[in-house]
Amino acid sequence: MSAVALRRLAALVLRQFYLLRSSVSRIVPLFVWVLIDILLWGFITRYLNTVSGSGVNFVPVLLGAALLWDFNTRVMHGVSMAFLEDVWARNFVNLFATPLRIGEYLGGLVISSIATSALGLAVMLVAATSIFGLSFAALGVMLVPFLLVLLMFGIALGIVGTAFVLRLGPAAEWFIWPLPAVISPFAGVFYPVATLPAWMQGIAHALPPSYVFEGMRRIVTGGTFAPVTLAWATLLAALYIALACWLFARVHAHVVRTGLLARYTSESVS
């Protein structure tokens, strides 16, 4: 990547930093919602531990799964929010009046999302560890590739969400917010994939997060997780990122060619 491209990426990231720094309403949600999720699932797991006679510790199984899935969701929303900031500010067309390229723009969205999601992850880890005693020690070094797969899949979802809004118009932003919730039943976040009907299992096997949560449950319950399975999940996540970038580029070319990009000008955003 050239020095010019790096400066453009840095400029996009710096813009997001200035937006966050200048607005409490943008900073607070980075921490409040993740704390609420951790508190909710933490008290649920604590209650299940007191009433269940199975001897299973629900803290690493359920609270750990909630934390990891929340990280995936924050990454996805981080990419989408950075795009929507440009839509709401009626600045999207202005950006592409410059020599900015599609890959550079997407790179700026992704880097901004990684930064904000890392802050949210740190808050979740501190809260879950200090309040509920959650420990990922059982996962060991596997925690890093698990987070990497979820990060990559979250990036892919975020880019797909922005492509939907770009194609259908600013009013279609409501497609973005429920996307993780729609996928979560198939990803086996809180239960084994084997409990799903056969047709849902087929979809689950095509989703990288399903391998992460299956592996997490096996490890915390004393089992093993095959590295080849993790490699397959990583390849799937990388494939989804490539397809998402291709989709965004095609959609962008379409809206430019058909004139639909005019919906994002400063005169009219509807």
Question: Would you state the structure tokens that stand for residue 108, as one six-digit string?
Answer: 């700026």
Give the CA distances from residue 186 to residues 137, 157, 265, in Å, rounded to whole numbers and listed in that order: 27, 15, 38
Residue 230 and residue 241: Cα distance in Å, rounded?
Answer: 17
**Residue 223 confidence (pLDDT) above 80:** no
121/265: higher pLDDT: 121
Contacting residues for 123 by C-beta, under 8 A, at least 6 apart: 30, 31, 34, 35
Q: DSSP for 18-39? A: HHHHT-HHHHHHHHHHHHHHHH
The full set of domain ranges for the chain reads 3-264
Any residues with CB less than 8 A from the CB of 23 and at least 6 apart, and which? none
The answer, as to whether pTM is greater than 0.95, is no
Q: Answer whether residue 205 shows pLDDT above 90.
A: yes
Share of the chain above pLDDT 90, in %: 38
Is a pLDDT exceeding 60 seen at residue 267? no
* Residue position matching structure tokens 């309403």: 25
Asked whether the predicted pLDDT for residue 233 surpasses 60, the reply is yes
Residue 95 has which token pair? Answer: 């950006």
Predicted confidence (pLDDT) per residue in 35-50, tens digit: 888 999 999 988 888 8
